[in-house]
Chain A
Amino acid sequence: MRESRWWILSLSAAALMVVLLTLHMGLMHLSGLMKVLGVDPGDVRSFAAVMERGRSLAQMVFYLLFLGAALYHGLYGLRSVLLEVTPPRGQGVLSGLVLAAGLLAFAYGAYVTVRTFTG
């Protein structure tokens, strides 16, 4: 695949993260600001609230998308940095290692999310 497709995917992941991260920060960490804006997310960090969110299909999709976008964007950036110090003959191995790390991390994150959803 042409390198531009990976690059465009990385930019798309960044754009998606802007939306998802804004939602995440607004609901989870900036409740004071949200109240000023007229939205009261409630006590979102209590155990009960976390478990309740975990059983929501929308929240599961949200977290899986967030996980995938963040992992792809971050690992593509890491690969770009490492490519600069890797000779061309080693770039296939490097890409393979980064892909494996990404799949492993996604599988682990997805397992936790899905397991929480299914109870």
Chain B
Amino acid sequence: MAERTHGAVETGIVTVTVRVSRFHPETDRSSGQQDYLVPAGPGMTVLDALVYIKEHLDGSLAYRSSCRMGICGSCGMFISGLPRLACQTQIRALGPVVTVEPLPNYPVVRDVVPDLEPMVTHHTAVRPFIVRGGEEQEYPTAEYLQTPVELDAYLQFAYCIKCGICLSACPTLATDPAFAGPQALAQVYRYSADSRDDGRRARLGAVDIAHGIWRCHLAGACTEACPKGVDPALAIQLLKRLIVADVLGIGRRRGPAPVAPPDMQAQRRPDIPAAPPATVPGGSGAQKNQP
């Protein structure tokens, strides 16, 4: 393996110093730092470097990762001064010394593993799912009708992968741990703007509190940090508009999207096999509608 100094040749191997925050809750009272020299080839990510360290240099290093492709949101870390996904961050773009720390605004489990419980608590409190009244919620009979325009109203906010990076970038959360945070607030808007949903009132009430949406400073740090291009700051502003319209009783009110009636006239082509029997009693009824 040919080692060269950092930045000498794009295609070669350079040695990068990875300065990792170390903390063991059973033996340490505060976190320290440890340097590792990692040979970095083209395309190497910070996550690759951590994998290298764990496999070749120090098996005691703890970090969290899963998909390695920016989908699961497991590897959120504070890398060289910014919260990012380790699997999406090219290590050679950060200079000869790369610092890796746990995400701010979270308790630390160990080393660079944050405890995401605060985010999960706020996320679950806002009922992040489609809410429908009556029997349709428990025993759905068909799909809901939704136009492409109605889909566009919330689609970008549905790309959230719950990595927690926006909360670590949020200046309000840095001083107010009870603040709902951009992730949960963006999800409130995502579901409240969904034409299929009928749970807006309860959801808005959950964040229309002293430590809720009105504490947002609109710094926009959440939007800058989001690795998926979601704009939580925009969602929060749109959510404020929804709440104000709700309180003042202004604006267009709409009912939840209707359930699409089963197409009784449809004929299954003979070369397409019949749908399997429903696995849940009283399920979709697709089997019944087949000719």
Q: State the A residues within 8 Å of B (CB).
A: 2-5, 7-8, 80, 83-85, 87-88, 91, 95
> Least Cβ distance of A51 to chain B in Å?
42
Interface string of B220-261 (1 = CB under 8 A from A): 000000000000000000000001100110000000000000
CA gap between A31 and B211 in the complex, in Å: 44
Bound complex: CA of A5 vs CA of B175, how far in Å?
24
Main secondary structure of the interface of A (DSSP, over half): helix
**What distance in Å separates the Cβ of B278 from its nearest Cβ neighbour in chain A?**
43
Contact with A along B197-218 (1 / 0, CB 8 A): 0000000010011111011000
Whether, in the assembled complex, B120 has its beta carbon less than 8 Å from a beta carbon of chain A, the answer is no
Set B210, B247, B248: member contacting A88, Cβ < 8 A: B210
B175, A8: Cβ atoms under 8 Å?
no
Contacts of A4 in B (CB 8 A): 208, 214, 243-244, 247
Say whether B172 contacts A84, CB under 8 Å: yes
> Chain B residues in contact with chain A, CB under 8 A?
172, 175-176, 178-179, 205, 208-212, 214-215, 243-244, 247-248
The residues of A that contact B172 with a CB separation of less than 8 Å are 84
Q: Which of A3, A5, A7, A87 contacts B178 (CB 8 A)?
A: A87
Q: How far, in Å, is A8 (CB) from chain B's closest CB?
A: 6
Looking at the assembled complex, report how far the CB atom of B167 sits from the nearest CB atom of chain A, in whole angstroms: 15
Contact A83 B176 (CB under 8 A): yes
A83 to B209, CA, bound (A): 11
Q: How far is the CB of A4 from chain B (nearest CB, A)?
A: 5
Asked if residues A3 and B209 are in contact (CB atoms below 8 Å), the reply is yes
What's the minimum C-beta distance from A1 to chain B, rounded to whole angstroms?
10
- The answer on a CB contact under 8 Å between A3 and B247 is no
Please tell me if the beta carbons of B215 and A8 are within 8 angstroms of each other in the complex.
no
Query: Which residue of the partner chain, among B178, B205, B247, contacts A8 with CB atoms under 8 Å?
Result: B247
What are 12 sample pairs from A and B whose C-beta atoms fall under 8 A apart? A2-B205, A2-B247, A3-B209, A3-B210, A4-B208, A4-B244, A5-B247, A7-B214, A83-B215, A84-B176, A88-B210, A91-B211
State how many angstroms separate the Cβ of A50 from the closest Cβ of chain B.
Answer: 39
Q: In whole angstroms, what is the CA distance A3 to B178 when docked?
A: 15
A95: B residues at CB distance < 8 A: 210
Query: How far apart sit A87 and B176, CA to CA, in the bound complex (Å)?
Result: 8
> Whole-angstrom distance between the alpha carbons of A27 and B114 in the complex?
58
Return the contact of A3 from the options B175, B179, B214 (Cβ within 8 A).
B214
Do B212 and A85 have beta carbons less than 8 Å apart? no
Q: How far is the CA of A59 from the CA of B211 in the complex (A)?
A: 39
User: Given contacts A8-B244, A8-B247, A8-B248, is CB(A3)–CB(B176) below 8 Å?
Assistant: no
